[in-house]
Amino acid sequence: MNVAKPPFDKPQVRQAISYAVDRGEIISSVFRGHARPTGPVPSALADWAVDTAQFDTYKPNVDKAKQLLAEAGVSNLKTSMMAMSTLPQQVDAAQVIRSQLLKVGIDAEVQPLEVGVYVDTWKKKGMELMVGSNGAGTNADRAVCFFFCTDGSANVWNYSNAQVDSAGAEARSATDQARAKTLYDDAQKQIVNDAPNLFLANQNQFLAYSPKLANFTPMPDETWQGLITAAVQP
């Protein structure tokens, strides 16, 4: 969500959208059940991810969504939701989300965009709502600060929260892993509460390879695709 564009500048509206979205339905219908709910840090980074079961806004609640929209003075909202046309799962997810938002009085027209137009819109912060498939990398700092610190290189949603900035900066330089974990956890909880993005799901990854392939370790961020040094044994 572009938090610089009304009414998405209001936290209640963004939280209402989170309550309106049923992540379980998206996982079952778009990913055929082969995915898991996620927070800012993906579940594959188990030491740094947070348990999404703690977040009330992850539990679909149409009445709560309508209440928050009313408190924000928003009704019968018409907006647009962009997705990359060459990624069918993005378009499918957008269609499911649109049907869910209609139940709370938000009509988000789905706009499939060609890759170049999509990326250009993303970089120029020209969206209102946009379905994305951003990878969180291999560490918590990228997942938190690269996307959500005020000066983050990929903060295209215009999000800014001093607590997230402070936690991210301290965690980055922390020498104690337990302290860094606490700080990144706090930052993730704040981001989920502010809801500049809705974190939907991490898709399960399936790989098939010959037992003759030695010294091959699949990586959750798919870095292996460009770094395969394994040898095929005769």
Asked if the structure places residue 5 within a domain, the reply is no
Check which CATH number belongs to the domain holding 147 and give it: 3.10.105.10
- Residue-wise pLDDT for 71-90, tens only, equals 999 999 999 999 999 999 99
Asked if the structure places residue 38 within a domain, the reply is yes
Coil, strand or helix: which one is 98?
Answer: helix
Angle, alpha carbons 61-62-64 (nearest 5°):
70
The answer on pLDDT for 228 being more than 90 is no
**87/96 Cα distance (integer angstroms):** 15
Asked if the structure places residue 185 within a domain, the reply is yes
Asked if the structure places residue 1 within a domain, the reply is no
Asked if the structure places residue 63 within a domain, the reply is yes
- Furthest-apart CA pair in the chain: how many Å? 69
Q: Where in 32-145 does DSSP place strands (E)?
A: 35-37, 77-84, 106-113, 129-130
Using only C-alpha atoms, the chain has a radius of gyration, in whole angstroms, of 19
**72/102 Cα distance (integer angstroms):** 17
Angle, alpha carbons 42-44-50 (nearest 5°):
50
The number of distinct structural domains making up the chain is 1
Give me the pLDDT at residue 213, please.
79
- Residue-wise pLDDT for 162-217, tens only, equals 999 999 999 999 999 999 999 999 999 999 999 999 999 998 888 787 888 777 77
**99/174 Cα distance (integer angstroms):** 44
Range of the domain at 126: 11-232
Asked if the structure places residue 170 within a domain, the reply is yes
CB atoms within 10 A of CB 222: 12
Coil, strand or helix: which one is 35?
Answer: strand
**90/96 Cα distance (integer angstroms):** 10
